[in-house]
Amino acid sequence: MKNRIFLFLIVVMISCESDSVSPTGVYTVQGYVYYLGDLANSVTVSIDGQYNWSSTTSNDGYFSISGVSEGNHELRYRKENVLDQSASDSLGFTEKTISISVYDDVVLDHLRLPKVVYLYPAEDIGVTGARVLWSPTDDESFREYKLFRHITSGLDETTGTLVHVSTSLTDTTFFDEDLEPYQEYFYRIYVMNDFGKLGGSNLISFYTSNIQLLTNGGFENNSATNPIGWDMVPNTGNSIEIDSLFSYEGSNSLKFSHNSPSGCWEMWIYQYIDGSLLTEGSAYNISMRYTADFDENTFFNLIISNSSMNEWITIPLEFNDSQQWSELDFTFELPNEVGTGQTKIDLHFCVEGVRTWWLDDIEIVKVTP
């Protein structure tokens, strides 16, 4: 009986002693965040991405997160919409992730955010390329820059095309030469370390230059009576030649003479272009000046062909014998597959009877991205 009472007292004592000890293993993490030497407000601080372990810095850069369990954690601090003093319309974000060990209350009195990287306005913008430049990061844990490109403003690592990676902190320029004419492009750069992102830049955009697909469309550059850059097929008994006495602009035009009184002896001119200058599904415009020594509503065919396409585009013409120059302005759309190899562009005429007509200032340009 005495033994039972003794054991009961021991159990009660142990139980009471356990109830009197405060819970352990839950602590507070607090500190201050700086950006460019100043205390930074509105910085989001979180631990392990947990909603209940997060805080936002006050005006004096202070944060406090309580209830953090003991052990090893990752603390991330991030500031959005950081304004560049040298580019007041540019916004980016900066962040950093560090490892912390929590086995007591933790005070982090000088957390420093990396300097935001900014994309500057693009330079050397051409038909198929442009130079992209950015400011360097100042973070010692830098691993690489990753530059992304897209054709809309909805650009991040998942929607954009990764066009450049550099592991040199001072490598802050890249010439992107894989672009299409007259197309708007958007760029954003991300800065990475071994934990992930150190920040993301502002978004920039620009249009590449347009291009005149045809050369010597005004027929001012010639060898004897032949326009440089053009091949001509007058067909039997007909002629195609430079007329240096009659032109809409400059000194010359191109004169077509169909000399058969009956039937149509087809006549055409053509030149080759680089097919990579064409954009699938885009709209283009052909314009030119023309006149004739006869009245007739007719047409010609614009033929664009390579190994991937053979487009015949019928374009109406209203010839008149007033010797006044008329203007053609015609828009057409390319198919969804245009190829990239050598591409032939023909202007193909089929006019019956003894007829003469003149062309000048022929241009083909892209009109929609």
CATH of the domain at 270: 2.60.120.260
List per-block mean pLDDT (blocks of 10 residues) for the chain, which spans 369 residues: 45 43 76 95 96 96 97 95 58 92 96 94 95 95 97 93 96 95 95 92 94 95 91 95 95 96 93 93 96 94 96 95 92 94 96 95 92
Handedness of CA 231, 234, 236, 241 (dihedral sign): negative
Q: d(Cα 116, Cα 200) in Å, to the nearest integer?
A: 7
Q: What is the CATH number of the domain that holds 174?
A: 2.60.40.10
* DSSP-based three-state secondary structure for 276: helix
Segments forming the whole domain that contains residue 338: 222-366
- Are 229 and 167 contained in the same domain? no
Task: Name residue, tokens 């030649």.
Answer: 241
- Residue 221 Cα distances to 115, 226, 302, 331, angstroms: 55, 9, 23, 27
- Are 248 and 361 contained in the same domain? yes
pTM exceeds 0.85: no
**Residue 230 amino acid letter:** W
- Are 192 and 287 contained in the same domain? no
Longest dimension (CA), the chain: 140
Single residue among 150, 172, 207 that ends a domain in this structure:
207
Contacts of 346 (CB under 8 A, 6+ apart): 268, 269, 270, 301, 302, 303, 304, 305
Per residue in 89-118, pLDDT tens? 457 999 999 999 999 999 999 999 999 999
- Are 203 and 239 contained in the same domain? no
- Are 359 and 231 contained in the same domain? yes
Identify the pLDDT of residue 90: 55
- Are 67 and 160 contained in the same domain? no
Q: Are 62 and 29 in contact (CB under 8 A)?
A: no
Identify the pLDDT of residue 19: 44
- Are 316 and 359 contained in the same domain? yes
